[in-house]
Amino acid sequence: MADIIQLLPDNIANQIAAGEVIQRPASAVKELLENAVDAGASEIKLIIQDAGKSLVQVIDNGKGMSETDARMCFERHATSKIRNIDDLFHIKTMGFRGEALASIAAVAQVELKSKRADDETGTYIEIENSMVKTQEPVAATNGTSIAMKNLFFNVPARRNFLKSNAAEMRHIVDEFMRVALSFPNIFFSLTSGNQQIFHLEKGSLKQRIVQVLGQHYNARLVTVQEKTDYLNIYGFVGKPDTAKKTRGDQYFFVNNRFIRSAYLNHAVMSAFKEMIPADSFPLYALFIDLDPAQVDINVHPTKQEIKFEDEKIVYAFVQAAVKHALAQFSITPTLEFDLDPNIQKLDALNKPFTDDKKDAALSSGLAKDFTHKNSAHFIQPTDKSELRHWKDFYEPGADQPATGDRQANEKQHPDYGGFSFNSQKEEKFESLLDKLKKQDGGDRQIPAHNYTPFAKQLVDDNALLFQLQSTYIVAPTARGFMLIHQQLAHERILYERFAAATNGKSIATQRSLFPVTLQLSASDAVLLQELTGDLNQLGYHIEPFGSNAFVIQGTPADVSTGNEKLAIESILEQFKHFSSDLKFSRREKLIRSLAWQQAIKPGTPLALDEMRALTTDLFKCGQPNVTASGNPTYIEFKKDYLEQLFKR
């Protein structure tokens, strides 16, 4: 029988390797930027077309390559970083395995121009499907320019797996930000189409963090700096008030290489314990420098997962460094008071403290309590007349509501044992009932017995509803009573309303008299650009306004004026919260984010009409008993169960 094992052709082997290294345009961006850094460049420019599908180009002013090196760099496992096995365990550069350019050349059309400072001319090479098409001298500036065109042109099945342009662009921005944060001493720029997204001048690490993550972090960063014989840790963490519901702004770098480490992330989270809510994530950009021999970076194709020789030591140092930084900068709640200028005019400051006044002060009872021994717990008897007003706290006086109002409430609901709920008629904010009226386009009449069959257990439309702890609504039924969670119930109502809007029945938009300008970070700006079409269907009218800025021209009728900016920022944060769950479509994530963001939160008092409107709308829903995420909107307590509780 003939032998069946054969060596793969180079072009097929390269495509298999490309499947590990080049998963999407952002993967090529990472590799090309790291090569530019290794070349000693002080300026690196990234140019993107069609979210990297048509073009990814990196231009640097590094040391460039000779004609031979320019050709050799596209060979598999051709590298200038490793000569023997020991070099593999002392890696200090970003790239070292010689797979990146070979993988890119296997799945894209590549053009390379490179020139060293000592050479008169540069080298131009054109490669397609791992085959050299052109190699010739060319006039070029010092450094290297490499352009990757038509990614996966020869592997159409792989190209079909790419996401939308907006989604791929977000991945590119993420990779760019990671490299840019690692090297604040290098100028970086990112241009997509005809728009420059980033222009990052050289500067300090804090300046680079503020440039990349947003100007609003400038005064909200805490310095982390710990030097030990084993490793050095430096960087910044955000103050507790910068914590978000998503992990977005969290960066670990080991020897300037971005890594992912759930273990070290836990160290930072434990340092923030009891300073931020349990479901929040702090901002941090932390750099760990240690001997390359103590870490193995060659355990994953993308080199974003590494292994430490002793993880526990690194964990302890990271946790201690962050704790020390937070304690050193007194990150605790404080009260600040401005000195009243009138204090300077008081007699106590302007007039001398005479001997007579001193004697009078020392002879006072207060001074004796503080100066006499064994009197720390002694309290002098006071004049009982000074306590004559204590009953005012418990009995209504002239400044408290008359008892007639309370009696009227008791008379109106005699079966309620005098319990009264707060009517919010004089509240300054818009009531839930008014919002619901706006959504329906007119006066809202709550129809009698218009519940779904699922909810006919309610006694009647005049049943007394009341609120517990400004969070729950108690509704009597023929079989007992229901305990309705106001936020979860409202989420269900809004979810079904938004779902209907995305299926053709758009929500009316309320045009803003004074449009609000929203300035976002580059990654959030790309995300909002992706969501604009769906947001327009849901009642928002948002238009781009220059680099990373948007104008909110209109909002849904139930978003109160003045909260437009906060509403959009909350929607983006909640959308990113869902982004890790692949089973949701983009539209589903957006609908759930909006429902959560606009639902009334626990702690909001509701008037009787508002509670009745909320209850009515809940039981008009197609599935009123659970939210979209499966949480119950209410719990029913039946009479039989109640009697069992009291052993009846």
pLDDT category of residue 130 using cuts at 50, 70 and 90: confident
Tell me the residue type at 594. Answer: L
Q: How many angstroms separate the first and last alpha carbons of the chain?
A: 86
Residue (of 268, 220, 226, 233) closest to 247 by Cα position: 268
Residue 624 binned pLDDT confidence (cut-offs 50, 70, 90): confident
* pLDDT, position 419: 41
* pLDDT tens sequence across 224-263: 998 888 889 999 999 888 888 777 788 999 888 888 888 8
For domain 430-648, the CATH architecture is 2-Layer Sandwich (3.30)
H or E element, residue 104: helix 100-107
pLDDT tens digit sequence for 488-533 = 999 899 888 888 877 766 677 778 777 888 888 877 888 888 888 8
Task: Report yes or no: 510 and 554 within 8 Å, Cβ to Cβ.
Answer: yes
Query: Cα–Cα–Cα angle for 354, 356, 357, nearest 5°?
Result: 70
Confidence of residue 341 (pLDDT cuts 50, 70, 90): low
Percentage of the chain beyond pLDDT 70 is 72
CA-wise closest residue to 424 among 633, 604, 231: 604
pLDDT value of position 517: 86
Going by pLDDT thresholds of 50, 70 and 90, the confidence category of residue 549 is confident
10-200: CATH superfamily: Histidine kinase-like ATPase, C-terminal domain (3.30.565.10)
Q: Which residues of 429-465 are buried (b: 16+ CB within 10 A; e: fewer)?
A: eebbbbbbbbbeeeebeeeeeebeeebebbeeeeebb
What integer pLDDT is reported at residue 236 of this predicted model?
94
3-state percent breakdown (helix, strand, coil) of the chain, nearest 5: 40, 20, 40
CB 265 within 8 A of CB 215: no
Per-residue pLDDT tens over the stretch 267-319: 999 888 878 887 788 889 999 998 888 777 765 666 667 777 788 888 999 99
pLDDT of residue 177: 93
Q: 570 phi and psi, to 5 degrees?
A: -65, -40
Which pLDDT does position 56 carry in this prediction? Answer: 94
Q: Please state which of the ranges 46-55, 61-70, 445-454, 639-648 shows the lowest mean pLDDT.
A: 445-454
pLDDT one-digit tens code per residue, 82-127: 556 565 556 666 665 557 788 888 888 999 999 999 999 999 999 9
Work out the average pLDDT over 55-84. Answer: 81
Which one-letter DSSP state was computed for residue 514? E
Q: What is the pLDDT of residue 285?
A: 93
pLDDT at residue 427, rounded to an integer: 39
pLDDT at 59: 95
- Confidence band, pLDDT 50/70/90 cuts, at residue 5: confident
Mean pLDDT score, 599-618: 87
Q: Of 229, 205, 211, nearest to 287 (Cα)?
A: 205
Q: What is the largest CA-CA distance in the chain?
A: 121
pLDDT at 183 over 50: yes
Residues 6+ apart with CB under 8 A from 7: none
Write down the pLDDT at residue 370: 61
Q: Check whether 20 has a pLDDT greater than 90.
A: no
| pTM beyond 0.85, yes or no | no
pLDDT, residue 272, reads 87
**Other residues' Cβ atoms within 10 Å of the Cβ of residue 410:** 14
Q: What does 571-635 look like in DSSP terms, one character per residue?
A: HHHHHHHHTT-TTS-HHHHHHHHHHHHHSPPTT----HHHHHHHHHHHTTSSSTTB-TTS-BSEE
CATH of domain 205-328: 3.30.230.10
213: nearest Cα among 257, 185, 240, 251 = 251
- pLDDT tens for 344-384 read 555 555 566 677 777 777 777 666 666 665 555 555 555 55
Q: Where are the domains of the chain?
A: 10-200, 205-328, 384-420, 430-648
Query: CA 234 to CA 252: how far, in whole Å?
Result: 11
pLDDT given for residue 49 in this prediction: 92
pLDDT above 90 as % of the chain: 19
Q: Following CA atoms 338, 342, 348, 351 in sequence, which dihedral angle do they give, to the nearest 10 degrees?
A: 130
Pairing of strands 43-49, 187-192: parallel
In whole angstroms, how far apart are CA 117 and each of 35, 39, 141, 585?
Answer: 18, 13, 8, 51
d(CA 474, CA 634) in angstroms, rounded, equals 10
| DSSP secondary structure letter of residue 244 | B
